[in-house]
Structure 1
Amino acid sequence: MPTEPQDSFDRAVFDGPRRGVHRGPKPRGRGWVTFAWAALATGVLVGLGVVGLFAINNKINFVGTSGGDSSAVASDAVTPTPTVEPTTNAAAKVTILNGTTVAGLATRAGTQATTAGWAVGAEANASTTDITASTVYYADAGNEGAAKGLAAALGGIAVQQSTQFQGADLTAVLGTDYKDPGK
């Protein structure tokens, strides 16, 4: 049997501690630190997600929530608020939403509004069917007269300023109190 020539690896000294591949014992409590960081990151992400969802759905109002004294002295002079007369604005984007279970109510109300001179852009069902009070919503204060005019054309329903419906100038949400023109 042939013998191999000697090299530096054959002359290894085995006296003394191991070197190179030896790893010390893991320190105690190291798993808790990792768990704590993961829990903190999860909490921060969930918190940001909740705040983001509320902000997207307009449930958080950052305007007008001052922590100041709410017992401020009111002014003695009362300025009368000007009344806005109902108008018909054929250029206004009008959406009519059915907030009830009555089929075709938005279509019949849209026909009634079109007959009165309004340009109805959309007639659809609302996201819920449990609306009790019919209301015409407008976002811009300049559309208040037009909202009152549309409300009058739909049988005298309520008018309210709101930024909830951004897709149209005027949005009529029909509730169970609405008098169906087709009946």
Structure 2
Amino acid sequence: MTQLVKDRFDDVPRSSGRVGAHRAEAPGMNGWVVLLWSLVAALVIIVVGIFVALVMMGRIALFPDADTPGPSAPEVQGVVDTTYSVIVLNATSEEGLDVQLRDTLLNAGWTADSVTTGLAESPEFADTTIYYASTTDELAAIGLADLIGGAQVEQSDFYADPNDPEQKQLVVVIGLDRTAAAPESAETPAE
């Protein structure tokens, strides 16, 4: 009979009764780690369950409708206050627009000495804008914008008198949207 050849595994002492890695204890898996992973899994399952329940009850919308508008700010109504002095500046190359707007204001109740006209520094101002200096003047500026047929309203102290900061004054800068060559809006009134 042939003899078996000795190799390095023949010298390993056989102190343990077990043989093979499948019988060895799992390294690092002690009781605390198993408990911690169990708690994390339970927490995730509970959170997902609550979320699904809220979606099913309609308290959470996954995909909100784009058609439903949110709460909108109420539109501020302006007040026409003829106690304000008004400066009308023509910021276009078309002459006479400031005089036409002055006549509109005089017909609305302003006195001749409270409305002054002039030319703006730039003849290429895009949109007609009403400037007011203080937040207390905002409603009067909105009222004036409504009176002249719509204009932008913006707070700025650029035109405010530095010697009299309490002066009640509005400044109308006429833009290219008021010229005869202004592009007409897409909406035309029905006849």
Q: TM-score, normalised by structure 2?
A: 0.48
Q: State the match for 2:176 in structure 1.
A: 176
C-alpha distance in 2, partners of 1:124/1:134? Answer: 15
- In our comparison, the structure showing a higher alpha carbon Rg is 2
Conserved 8 A contact 1:88-1:118: no
Q: Does 1:143 align with 2:131?
A: no
Q: How does 1:50-89 map to 2 (within 5 A)?
A: 84-89=76-81
TM-fit CA distance, 1:89:
1.1
Aligned residue pairs, count: 102
Give the Cα separation in 2 of the matches to 1:179 and 1:88: 24
Distance 1:178 1:150 in 2: 15
Q: Please, what TM-score do these two structures have when normalized by structure 1?
A: 0.50
Does 1:101 pair with 2:93?
yes
Partner of 2:10: none
One-letter amino acid of the counterpart of residue 157, structure 2: T
| Contact 2:145-2:152 at 8 Å conserved across structures | yes
RMSD: 2.2
- The answer for unaligned runs of 5 or more in structure 1 is 1-79
- 1:112 correspondence with 2:115: no
Does the aligned pair in 1 maintain the 2:80–2:147 contact within 8 Å? Answer: no
Q: CA deviation at 1:81?
A: 6.8
1:10 corresponding residue in structure 2: none
Q: Compute the displacement of 1:144 (Å).
A: 0.6
C-alpha separation between the residues in 1 aligned to 2:122 and 2:133? 21
Residue identity (%): 31
Q: Secondary structure at the match of 2:99?
A: helix
Instruction: Name the CA distance, whole Å, in 2 between partners of 1:179 and 1:143.
Output: 27
8 Å CA contact 1:155, 1:179 repeated in 2? no
Aligned positions of 1:24-43 closer than 5 A = none
Does residue 148 of structure 2 align to residue 154 of structure 1? Answer: yes
- Structure 2 counterpart SS, 1:88: coil
Q: Which has the higher helix share?
A: 2
Cα pair 1:140 1:169 within 8 Å, conserved: no
Change (3 A) 1:145 1:138: same
In 1, are the aligned partners of 2:94 and 2:179 still within 8 Å (CA)?
no
Unpaired runs of 5+ residues, structure 2, are: 1-71, 162-167, 181-191
